[in-house]
Amino acid sequence: MQESVVYQDILQKGIAQGLEQGEKQGEVAVILRLLHRFCGPLNPEIESRIQSLSKPQLEELSEALLDFTNLADLQQWLDSH
């Protein structure tokens, strides 16, 4: 069973999906830490919105947050994405 092509395909897809999910969780964690340091504690709605972003959106946010000057900039960015 473990040597079958179907089994190996399912296993590889599962591993890839797990790695992708782990990378996304890591990106979310770093972004939230940076925003906590910059803005202080975030309200749960904002944290939830950040956690629901796609990986490309998280990458975009990670660059955009360098230009934020206040919490309103973050809110505006989230509203436009």
Distance (Å, rounded) from C-alpha 47 to C-alpha 44? Answer: 5
What predicted TM-score, i.e. pTM, was given to this entire model? 0.77
Average pLDDT, integer, range 19-32: 87
For residue 65, is pLDDT > 90? yes
**For residues 72 and 78, what is the distance between their CA atoms, to the nearest angstrom?**
10
Query: What pLDDT score was predicted for residue 42?
Result: 92
| Residue pointed to by tokens 């890591």 | 26
Over the stretch 53-64, which tens digit does the pLDDT of each residue have?
999 999 999 999
